[in-house]
Amino acid sequence: MTNTIGAPGSEWTRRDFAKATGGVGLLGLAGCTVPDQIGSATAQQSDLPAAGPPQVVDVTEQNNEVTLRSVTSHLPVHPESTLGGPVQLPRVWAWQADDREPSVPGPVIRTKEGEDIEVTLDNTDADMPHTVHFHGVRKTWENDGVPTTTGITVQPGEKHTYEIPANVPGTHLYHCHFQTHRHIDMGMYGFFRVDPEGYEPADQELFMTIKDWDSRLNRMLNGEDVSYSPRNRHPDVFTINGRSAPRTLHPEDGSPVIVSQGDTVRIHFANNGYMSHPMHTHNHRFRLVEKDGSQVPEAAQYEQDVINVAPAERKTIEFEADADPGIYLMHCHKVAHAMNGDTYPGGMVGGIVYEEAMDSDIFTKLMNYAGYEG
């Protein structure tokens, strides 16, 4: 069973996690401070709907068509009162695919090499213009999604369909290209995956978008009396798939890497922020097998444990789950990015969790920190 987004696949059920966590209450971890919240600004409550975790949309299963909408939402980055939380972005612009839950990042739009897909941007209920720009694949001029060079802007009350050929296999991304500096920073980005002919998925396959946020923008557009300029950007929130640690370890709302001994693990990284992030895996050495839609020749692959992901880059890594079964971190090695405010750990931190370690006391503690109730 392939795990396509980061939360457990069908082989992992709520019952499995309930059994692992038991009825133990919140326990302390040595070296961690637990203030009530990161600060009133980022912890502000919102009446807007919550943006959920990203889902995979296999457009080959729905006549090669998908409809995207923008839904004004809030982002519960780490809603629990643990490890520097709660952390909330009070206003984001989430992508919604068809009738699915709005999410930040947006849904993973997945197809196969050689298919032509139609992506309809439904802006009929929106209050601002948007477009959709796809990286990687070669398309006609008018389908590039850039308003200043194509002359096409999807205004409020309008719909527009983009014809996107899946002619470059690999991992790409998409985002709104109207006032790009603002709309990406408000959450309008996602993965576009084109599986090559004869593609063989790994035992565990995950998509992870890393993102740095300056919460002043989200707060300003939510009506707070704060000032923000993209020329004076100071990120204070750091996420993997829209969540900060320990929420990243939540089995449904986060993106833990759940493995069994001997699994082949493939992780597609994309950076939709504006800073570079060196991602480090503990106790596992991986190979870079794909970059920006191009396969890395086997002769050029080598084992490493830190890989830098620059803005808009996509890098796919692969490794074997052959370590001593346990729980290992995977995090940005700019350590200030592994924090929630002034609290460490937090931020851009995930984990590789072996099935054999899921009945341990420390796993129970982590699930409680993540806010998982079973």
Contacts of 318 (CB under 8 A, 6+ apart): 202, 264, 265, 266, 267, 286, 287, 289
pLDDT digits (tens, 9 = 90+) for 264-314: 999 999 999 999 999 999 999 999 999 999 999 999 999 999 999 999 999
Domain limits for position 107 = 14-370
Across the beta sheet with 189-195, what order do the strands follow?
56-58, 108-112, 189-195, 170-175, 133-134
What are the b/e assignments for 65-94, b being 16+ CB within 10 Å?
ebbbbbbbbbbbbbbbebbbbbbbbbbbbb
Query: Does residue 1 lie within any of the structural domains?
Result: no
pLDDT digits (tens, 9 = 90+) for 313-331: 999 999 999 999 999 999 9
Contacts of 112 (CB under 8 A, 6+ apart): 60, 166, 194, 195, 197, 199
pLDDT of residue 117: 97
Q: How far is CA 17 from the centre of its chain?
A: 22
Instruction: Please state, as a whole number, how many other Cβ atoms lie within 10 Å of the Cβ of residue 97.
Output: 24
CATH number for position 232: 2.60.40.420
pLDDT digits (tens, 9 = 90+) for 29-73: 333 433 334 433 344 456 899 999 999 999 999 999 999 999 999
Tokens in use for 11? 């082989």
Type of residue at 254: G
Using an 8 Å Cβ cutoff, are 266 and 201 in contact? yes
Query: Does residue 286 lie within any of the structural domains?
Result: yes
Please state, in angstroms and rounded to a whole number, the distance separating the CA atoms of residues 125 and 145: 20
Number of domains in the chain: 1
φ, ψ for residue 142 (rounded to 5)? Answer: -70, -10
Query: Does residue 339 lie within any of the structural domains?
Result: yes
Of 319 and 1, more confident: 319
- Calculate what percentage of the chain has a pLDDT beyond 90: 87
Please state, in angstroms and rounded to a whole number, the distance separating the CA atoms of residues 173 and 71: 19
φ, ψ for residue 148 (rounded to 5)? Answer: -75, -25
Query: Does residue 264 lie within any of the structural domains?
Result: yes
DSSP string, 140-177: -GGGS--HHHH---B-TT-EEEEEEE--S-EEEEEE--
pLDDT of residue 151: 97
Does residue 22 surpass a pLDDT of 80? no
Query: Does residue 2 lie within any of the structural domains?
Result: no
Q: Please choose, from the candidates 91, 96, 61, 98, the residue with its C-alpha nearest in 3D space to the C-alpha of residue 74.
A: 91
- Calculate what percentage of the chain has a pLDDT beyond 70: 87
Q: Taking CA 189 as the corner, what is the angle to CA 369 and CA 76, rounded to the nearest 5 degrees?
A: 25
Q: Taking CA 105 as the corner, what is the angle to CA 170 and CA 283, rounded to the nearest 5 degrees?
A: 70
Does residue 170 surpass a pLDDT of 90? yes
Query: Does residue 4 lie within any of the structural domains?
Result: no
Query: Does residue 3 lie within any of the structural domains?
Result: no
Query: Does residue 8 lie within any of the structural domains?
Result: no
pLDDT bin (cut points 50, 70, 90) of residue 16 is low
pLDDT bin (cut points 50, 70, 90) of residue 157 is very high
pLDDT of residue 373: 85
pLDDT of residue 340: 98
Of 3 and 56, more confident: 56
Using an 8 Å Cβ cutoff, are 36 and 239 in contact? no
